[in-house]
Amino acid sequence: MSKRFLSGNEAFAEGIRLAKPDVISAYPITPQTIVVERLSEMVEDGSLQSEFIHVESEHSALSCAIGASAAGARAFTATSSQGLLYMAECLYYASGGRFPIVMMNADRSTALPWNIYGDQRDSLSQLDSGWIQAYAENAQESLDLALMSYRIAEHPDVSTPFMVNLDGFVLTHTYETVEIPESEQAARFLPAYETENRVDFENPKNLAFSAGPDHNYIFKYKAHRGLLAAADVIAETEREFAEIFGRKYSGLIEQYRTEDADLILITLGSIAGLCRESADRMRMQGIRAGVIRIRYMRPFPNAEIAEALRNAKAFAVLEKDISFGNEGTVFTNVNSALQKAGLNIPGQNYIGGLGGRNISAGNIEAIFRGLVSGAPRVSFIGIGGDGSGE
């Protein structure tokens, strides 16, 4: 185990190096480009034995990864923002074909207005595409997810592509001390990829075919079951990861001081650290505050969120996303989890960080105070309620 001072992008590239993909399909887009640049350097200097393919577009990058996976190769690609949206057609091909591709997405605002800074509207817009979606908080988790993502995606009960999301610039370009495992450890954790879901001349099968209503329906059901099965595989993978590398993760969600919390703030990504610090300050003021960080948006942690909120008096969801004309997508998912559990807990939705706008500690403390005093159901940080009268 060695330590290096790395950005989130560089840490993720180190994790992919350890995962030893057979094929890397690369196309640059800010703020993701550093990932594929570092991987190209690793291939050039021989520290990574992989076929590096520089394609002509983001659509081609994922198309190439799909073809590689269909041939039985471990495949990787990366993108961001408009690039992810350009890939949208291919996202469904990858999940429908049950190809366990891993893709890193640098979360970034979508146009128009044109903007290169980070929010999470790009990835959250693709929740229905059939991919596992994880959101890293820091560079160390980015590296670790790069390794764990293949182990999870390639599990025969899952066989589903995996999108790892890093907040653009805030995480992708911020430097931290990161522990890098040894190659021998990584090989023990992640064996070489083997699959029957590939072109095989000795055992021919039909891949990427058309299916009428009766059969198509069953294939979609099986894809859904594969994503649900990922929850148990994530837990199993994290247990084995802790045994080998000594770092523990908490499954689909991470809880902070929620056991006795009256007010709980739910968020995802790199803003979670500031939320925890704000909760500590609220505790010093006599307000029992807690934080839930959603680590996986798919499969969604319905039961975990409901259980964590069961004894809370109120909750808020802070997200860098808006489903225009309604509310934040994360808030919708959290509300659904509570309804399925039969819980009626007052909730508020705070939209912030769109286009990379700063969210301050003062903003977060104001969210906790808003839960005490009551606030509009949907509020834009720095603007106020949405005018809907909810």
CATH code: domain of residue 87? 3.40.50.970
pLDDT of residue 389: 36
| Residue 261 counted as domain residue | yes
Q: How far apart are CA 15 and CA 177, in angstroms?
A: 14
Pick the closest to residue 69 from 96, 44, 101, 102 (CA basis): 101
* For residues 114-139, average pLDDT: 98
Question: Structure pTM?
Answer: 0.96
204: tokens are 């021919």
Residue 352 lies in a domain: yes
How many domains does one find in the chain?
Answer: 2
Mean pLDDT in residue range 223-239: 98
Instruction: Indicate whether 386 pLDDT > 80.
Output: no
Least confident of 202-206, 282-286, 306-310, 320-324: 202-206
Name the residue among 74, 222, 36, 215 with its Cα closest to residue 154: 74
Average pLDDT value for residue range 230-244:
98
Given a contact cutoff of 8 angstroms between Cβ atoms, the answer to whether 31 and 172 are in contact is yes
Q: For residue 199, what are the domain limits?
A: 2-245
Phi, psi of 342 (to 5 degrees): 70, 25
Asked if the structure places residue 61 within a domain, the reply is yes
Instruction: Specify the 3-state DSSP secondary structure of 229.
Output: helix
Structure confidence at residue 384 as a pLDDT band (50, 70, 90): low
Look at residues 213, 245, 277 and tell me which one is the last residue of a structural domain.
Answer: 245
Distance of CA 253 to the CA centre of its chain: 12
How many other C-beta atoms lie within 10 A of the C-beta of residue 282? 24
Measured in degrees and rounded to the nearest 5, phi and psi for residue 288 equal: -80, 95
For residue 275, give the CATH number of its domain.
3.40.50.920
CB-based contacts of 158, cutoff 8 Å, min separation 6: 100, 132, 152, 226, 227, 229, 230, 233
**Same domain membership, residue 174 and residue 33:** yes
pLDDT above 90 (res 303)? yes
312-351: per-residue pLDDT in tens?
999 999 999 999 999 999 999 999 999 999 999 999 999 9
Q: How far apart are CA 278 and CA 268, in angstroms?
A: 15
